[in-house]
Structure 1
Amino acid sequence: MGLALAVHTLFAAIWVGGMFFAYVCLRPTLAGIDPKTRTTLWAQVLHRFFGYVFVSAALLLGTGLHMIRGLGGMANAGPHVHIMLTLGLVMMALAAHVWFAPLKRLKLAVKAGDVPEAGRRVGQIRIFVGINLLLGLTVIAIASGGRYFFSSGLGGA
C-alpha cells in the first residue's frame, strides 16, 4: 500500500504541477513572442507534456484502484475517495479530449502555417487546462485533508 501511495502521489504532482507551470508560468511568459513561434512552441510543449499526462493517468488510476481494493472496495471507502475517483476520471476524460481534438487541430494548423487557427486552438486548450488545473488542485486538497473534512466536520482533527 505504501508503494502505491508513493507512486500515486508522485504522478499526481507531475500532472498537476505540469499544468500549474504551463498555465501560471509559461503562458504569461510566451504572451510577448510572435504568434507563429508561440503556437509552434505550444504544440511541441503540449505534445511532450501529454506523454507524461497519459503515463500519470494510467498510474493514478491503477494505484488508486489498488488502494481502494486495499480498503475493502468502494463500499468501505470514505466520501473523499469517491470524490477523488470521480474528479480524477473527469480529469482523464478532459485530457483525452484535449489530446484527440484541440491539440490534434493545433498541430495540423501549425503544420499548415495557419497561425490564426493555431492561436484559436491554443486558447481552447488553455480553457481545458485551466479547468483541469482547478480540478487537480481540488483533488489534492481532498486527498490531503478529505478524511478529516468528512469525518468530524470541516477541518476537524
Structure 2
Amino acid sequence: MKHAVLLFIHFSSAIFWVGGMAFAYFCLRPAAGSVLEPPQRLALWAATFARFFRYVAIAVVLLIGSGLWMILRIGLSYAPHGWLAMMVLGLFMAGVFVFIYWRLYPRLVGHVSAGRWPDAAAALNDIRQLVALNLVLSVLTVAAAAFSR
C-alpha cells in the first residue's frame, strides 16, 4: 500500500477520533448541561455514544493498523523515537477507549434504561474523566509526531 494512502487513513482516523472527543468534551457537554435536565442529558449521552463509539472503534482499528503497517515497513529498530512514542501513546489511548466502550458505556446505558439517574451520572462522569485523559494523551501524541525526525 502506498505511503500516502496509509498516511491519509492514519491522519483521517486520528482527526475523527480526537476531533470527536474535543467536540463532545468542550462543546456538547457544557451545552447539554446548560439546557437539559439530568434524565434528558443522560439519555442524550447514551444515544450519542451509541453512534459515536461505533465509528471510533473503526477509526481506532484503522489508526493502529495503518500505524503498525508504516512502522513495520521500515523496521522497528529504524523507526524514529517519535514514532515509537506515538505508538505507545496510541496503544494506551486505544486501551482507554476499549475500557470506556466495553465497561463504562454499558453501565451508563443500563442505568439510563432503568432510570437510575445518580448512577448514570456517575458512569458518565467516569467516561468524562477518561475522555479528558485521552485528550491530554492525544496532545502528547501529536507532539511526538510533530517533533519526530
Q: Same fold (TM over 0.5)?
A: yes
Partner Cα separation in structure 2 for residue 137 and residue 17 of structure 1: 12
Quick one: which amino acid aligns to residue 147 of structure 1? Answer: S
- TM value normalised by structure 2: 0.95
Which residue of 2 is the match for residue 9 of structure 1? 11
Q: Cα deviations across residues 4-41 of structure 1 (Å, max 9, x unaligned)?
A: 01110011000000000000001110112100000000
5 Å matches for 1:62-101?
Answer: 62-71=65-74, 73-101=75-103
Percent of aligned pairs with the same amino acid: 37
Q: 3-state DSSP class of the match of 1:101?
A: helix
5 Å matches for 1:44-123?
Answer: 44-71=47-74, 73-123=75-125
Partner Cα separation in structure 1 for residue 81 and residue 142 of structure 2: 14
Gaps of 5+ in 1: 149-157
Q: What is the CA-CA distance between 1:74 and the residue it aligns to?
A: 0.9
Quick check: 1:12–1:56 contact (8 Å CA) kept in 2? yes
Partner Cα separation in structure 2 for residue 134 and residue 17 of structure 1: 13
Report which of the two has the higher share of helix. Answer: 2
Q: What is the CA-CA distance between 1:141 and the residue it aligns to?
A: 2.4
**Count of residue correspondences:** 146
Which residue of 2 is the match for residue 26 of structure 1? 28
Partner Cα separation in structure 2 for residue 102 and residue 68 of structure 1: 32
Instruction: Supply the RMSD in Å over aligned alpha carbons.
Output: 0.9
- TM value normalised by structure 1: 0.90
Partner Cα separation in structure 2 for residue 140 and residue 41 of structure 1: 30
Gaps of 5+ in 2: none
- Is 1:43 matched up with 2:41? no
Moved over 2 A (4+): none
Quick check: 1:11–1:59 contact (8 Å CA) kept in 2? yes
Quick one: which amino acid aligns to residue 148 of structure 2? Answer: R
Which residue of 1 is the match for residue 129 of structure 2? 127
Quick check: 1:39–1:119 contact (8 Å CA) kept in 2? yes
Quick one: which amino acid aligns to residue 51 of structure 1? Answer: R
